């Protein structure tokens, strides 16, 4: 009441003509929005608890429910938005730093949307992907700069370890703990079926998931949770997490109350202890130190696994990437400022880092200029929302893309953006058994396979239109892109011409 009162953001609208008082909505809502008044035999509701996850809407058998954004807002103006005013009130009543879930929602430019893809006309015929072979397979890892031949004239194969992807898409790192076991199972099974890779995040790996090893990237972060020899050997690649696009310069901190049972066991830490994974690796202060971690991981796995170094896209990303390429790493993963997260300080999520499109273009160019582009592969993420974003990323120089938020949406996520509460009604960002069981890993697997198969088809169609029949030939092919509504400087950084040029 009074100054602390904030009107609910969402309103639950129940159509009394359709509602049959079945109380399914009440059972489905972990936030306690819906209730039952036994006296009057009517449904009740508390709009203030609603997060707009739409679980009740999706489960209502008579379509009696909808959730609408409240029109009771503060008197906004161009400077003081409703959200800006609400945030001040929240901080004035609690003294807390703001914490948000999922990626940066601001209206800042999305460069994917300012880039247009080419198609062949007359002089260079398109390829029909339905009739002609299209190669979407890619290999990540160091490529030799020249071919060596033996005395018999035959090529001497001296290839560093490679990762094979049937399509240039990988499931981004999301730890067991931040998402549920069933979500992990769906990702692992889908990656296996698709011939791509998923990523454990920094939450360790259960032994019953070792069976998905050929399609698993295991992650090593500053807290080293669950990192031991069998874990390092379980996957096909090891990713060193230096940073995350949603919160560059900020580490992970899973509170003790979420470190229970199986999550604690998998992270190999005591139950109830905070899982602190700070932003700095306390043994890495230089590229030479990074090289030491890269090489110790290679030693531990007998040089059989490529090492990925994941960094957030920040101001000096090109110089940083150049250093990583010289550290002995095989792959650099760049996570942009729109990347998702279970929880990040709002101010950092929305203001720290740079768009991945600009970071990617700058890194690819820098590595080419220095003649070391073939020493590493590039993965980008944060956020790649569609097959056209994927095509644009490849044309800007990416070898593959990480998709995270898109996979969660495929699993059922409605983007209510309250992952941090641990009460995900879709069984994704939760550890509550009764919620986790709502996500059937088999249905999840199928929906993920559908998503990636659809993108693969779209990728082939767009490549065909350009007259290109392999992803290899699209990579770094910036002539296939034109910019619209961009300044000369932006076009220069992106390395693309203006539409019409």
Partner 1 sequence: MTIIDASNLDHREINDKIREAGEEMTIRGCLGQRFIATGASDKKIAIEGVPGNALGSYLNGATIDVRGNAQDAVGDTMNDGTIIVRGDVRDVAGYAARRGRIYVRGNAGYRVGVHMKAYEDKSPLIVVGGRAGSFLGEYQAGGSIVVLGLGIGDKPLVGDFPCAGMHGGKMWLRCAPDRVRFPNQVLARRIEESERAELRALIADYCRVFDLDLDETTSGAFTVVVPNASNPYRQLRVDN
List residues binding partner 1 (CB under 8 A): 87, 90-91, 94-100, 222-224, 227-229, 232, 253, 255-256, 268-270, 272-274, 276, 278, 282-283, 292, 295-296, 299-300, 303, 345-346, 418, 420-421
As a whole number of angstroms, the distance between CA 386 and CA 483 comes to 18
Least Å distance, CB 220 to partner 1, is: 8
Q: Which is nearer to partner 1, 16 or 270 (CB)?
A: 270
Q: Which is nearer to partner 1, 80 or 303 (CB)?
A: 303
Q: Please check whether residue 169 is in contact with residue 401, taking contact to mean a CB–CB distance below 8 angstroms.
A: yes
HSE, side-chain direction, 13 A CA sphere, residue 111 = 27
Least Å distance, CB 278 to partner 1, is: 7
Least Å distance, CB 258 to partner 1, is: 11
User: H helices of 206-286, where?
Assistant: 229-234, 261-267
DSSP string computed for 374-396? GG-EEEEES---SHHHHHHHHHH
Least Å distance, CB 295 to partner 1, is: 6
Q: Which is nearer to partner 1, 54 or 346 (CB)?
A: 346
Spell out a b/e string for 113-123, using b for 16 or more CB atoms within 10 Å of the CB, else e. Answer: ebbebbeeeee
As a whole number of angstroms, the distance between CA 75 and CA 82 comes to 7
Least Å distance, CB 304 to partner 1, is: 13
The closest alpha carbon to 362, from 308, 417, 321, belongs to 321
Q: Which is nearer to partner 1, 66 or 291 (CB)?
A: 291
Q: Please check whether residue 267 is in contact with residue 204, taking contact to mean a CB–CB distance below 8 angstroms.
A: yes
Q: Which is nearer to partner 1, 167 or 293 (CB)?
A: 293
Q: Which is nearer to partner 1, 422 or 483 (CB)?
A: 422
Q: Which is nearer to partner 1, 348 or 393 (CB)?
A: 348
As a whole number of angstroms, the distance between CA 106 and CA 97 comes to 18
User: H helices of 163-308, where?
Assistant: 181-194, 229-234, 261-267, 287-300
Least Å distance, CB 159 to partner 1, is: 18
Least Å distance, CB 427 to partner 1, is: 21
Q: What are phi and psi of 60, to 5 degrees?
A: -65, 120
């Amino acid at each position: 009441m009074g100054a602390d009162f904030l009107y609910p953001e969402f309103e639950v609208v129940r159509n009394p003509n359709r509602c049959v008082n079945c109380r399914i909505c009440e059972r489905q809502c972990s936030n306690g929005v819906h209730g039952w008044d036994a006296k009057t035999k009517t449904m009740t509701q508390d709009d203030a608890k609603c997060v707009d996850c739409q679980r009740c809407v999706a489960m209502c058998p008579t379509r009696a429910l909808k959730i609408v954004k409240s029109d009771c807002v503060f008197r906004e103006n161009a400077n003081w938005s409703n959200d800006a005013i609400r945030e001040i009130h929240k901080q004035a009543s609690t003294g807390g730093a703001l914490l948000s879930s999922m990626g940066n929602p601001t209206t800042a430019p999305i460069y994917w949307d300012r880039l247009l893809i080419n198609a062949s006309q007359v002089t260079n015929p398109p390829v029909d992907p339905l009739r002609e072979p299209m190669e979407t397979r890619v290999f990540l890892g160091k490529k030799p700069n020249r071919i060596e031949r033996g005395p018999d004239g035959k090529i001497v194969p001296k290839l560093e370890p490679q990762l094979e992807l049937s399509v240039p898409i990988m499931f981004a790192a999301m730890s067991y703990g931040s998402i549920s076991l069933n979500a992990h199972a769906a990702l692992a099974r889908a990656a296996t079926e698709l011939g791509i890779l998923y990523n454990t995040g920094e939450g360790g790996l259960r032994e019953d998931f070792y069976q998905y090893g050929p399609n698993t990237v295991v992650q090593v972060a500053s807290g080293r949770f669950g990192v031991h020899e069998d874990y390092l050997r379980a996957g096909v690649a090891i990713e060193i997490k230096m940073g995350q696009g949603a919160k560059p310069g900020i580490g992970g901190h899973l509170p003790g109350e979420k470190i229970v049972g199986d999550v604690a066991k998998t992270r190999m830490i005591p139950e109830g202890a905070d899982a602190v994974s700070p932003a700095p690796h306390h043994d890495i202060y230089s590229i030479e130190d990074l090289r030491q971690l890269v090489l110790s991981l290679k030693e531990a796995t007998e040089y059989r696994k490529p090492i990925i170094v994941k960094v957030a896209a920040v101001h000096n990303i090109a110089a940083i990437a150049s250093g990583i390429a010289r550290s002995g790493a095989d792959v650099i993963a760049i996570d942009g400022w729109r990347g998702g997260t279970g929880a990040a300080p709002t101010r950092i999520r929305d203001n720290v880092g740079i768009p991945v499109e600009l970071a990617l273009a700058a890194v690819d160019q820098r590595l080419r200029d220095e003649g070391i582009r073939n020493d590493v592969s590039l993965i980008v993420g944060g956020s790649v929302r569609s097959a056209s974003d994927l095509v644009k990323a490849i044309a800007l120089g990416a070898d593959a893309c990480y998709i995270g938020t898109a996979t969660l949406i495929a699993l059922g996520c409605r983007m209510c953006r309250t992952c941090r509460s641990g009460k995900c009604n879709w069984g994704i960002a939760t550890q509550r058994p009764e919620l986790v069981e709502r996500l059937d890993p088999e249905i999840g697997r199928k929906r993920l396979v559908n998503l990636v198969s659809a993108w693969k088809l779209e990728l082939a169609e767009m490549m065909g239109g350009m007259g290109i029949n392999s992803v290899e030939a699209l990579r770094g092919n910036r002539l296939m892109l034109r910019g619209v509504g961009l300044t000369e400087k932006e076009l220069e950084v992106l390395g693309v011409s203006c539409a019409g040029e």
